[in-house]
Amino acid sequence: MDLKLDRSVAVVTGASKGIGLAVTRTLLAEGARVVAVSRSRTADLDALSGPDLLHVTADLMDPEAPARVVAEAVRAFGGVDVLVNNAGGVPAGVTMPRPSFLDASDAEWQAVFEFNLFLAVRAIRAVLPVMLEAGGGSIVNVSSGNARQPSPMNADYGAAKAGMNNLTKVLSEEFAPKGVRVNTVSPGPVRTAWWTDEGGAADTIAAMADSDRDTVMDTLAPQMMSLSTGRLADPQEIADAVALLASPRSASTTGAEFAVDSGYLKGL
């Protein structure tokens, strides 16, 4: 199916690995020009180099960085049609997973909210004037199943992502009449560095369960999280949903949340 993204301009945050890298690769394959934003380059991102890819090095924890990124996108490609707020997860200096609400300090809560909510707020604030002037656009916020599945584990992260879901609805209500669609994709557990890196979630859970990393990802985590498919998702599966929502093919979809979570969410 042609997603009608040819020559559109997309800004993707957290683009150097995992879901962001898969989104970048997918949008390029659909003919989009992509501004890939990350704190550093990776070999996998470099492998996508070409005239339609611009890498912008930025630490989005800097409140001024999102505006600079949008200005660079406009300078390089003439505008922004799509914003994918993918950057998030574990900020520098914070360790996850944490099994209890009591394990996180005020400073950690603040860092998690900065990284998982306020980055998106600032990026949206920077891009909206560009989209409105052009007559429309699409914003896709990458949230989490934990936004709607409360858990004592990583309570601050779940609360920040719940704020992301609420923000999506608010923005859609205000800006859909002006041509800007805003939607959310909520992954469950995905095979990204958050799980697979040394010292990451799989290692932490393996230490608690007297197991090993591979067993956690292949068996224990799907069982613990009651994943209907019996497996963690692949980043490409998240990227496919993001690309569809970014596309004009989803012209009547706004304010929606798409769960791509291996059956993690059980409620209505």
Q: What digits encode the pLDDT tens for the residues 17-29?
A: 999 999 999 999 9
pLDDT for position 187: 97
pLDDT for position 47: 97
Alpha-carbon span 207 to 42, nearest angstrom: 29
CA–CA distances in Å: residue 196 to residues 30, 159, 191, 225, 268: 28, 24, 7, 17, 31
**Domains defined for the chain, CATH in brackets:** 9-190+236-260 (3.40.50.720), 191-232 (no CATH)
pLDDT for position 75: 98
Q: Is 94 helix (H, G, I), strand (E, B) or coil?
A: coil
Task: Kindly report, residue by residue over 133-155, the tens digit of the pLDDT.
Answer: 999 999 999 999 999 988 888 89
- Low-confidence stretches of the chain (pLDDT < 50) are none
> 185 has which bridge partners?
142, 258
pTM, two decimals, is 0.94
- The yes-or-no answer on residue 264 being catalytic is no
- Which listed residue (10, 80, 154, 157) is catalytic? 157
Tokens of 230: 């019996």
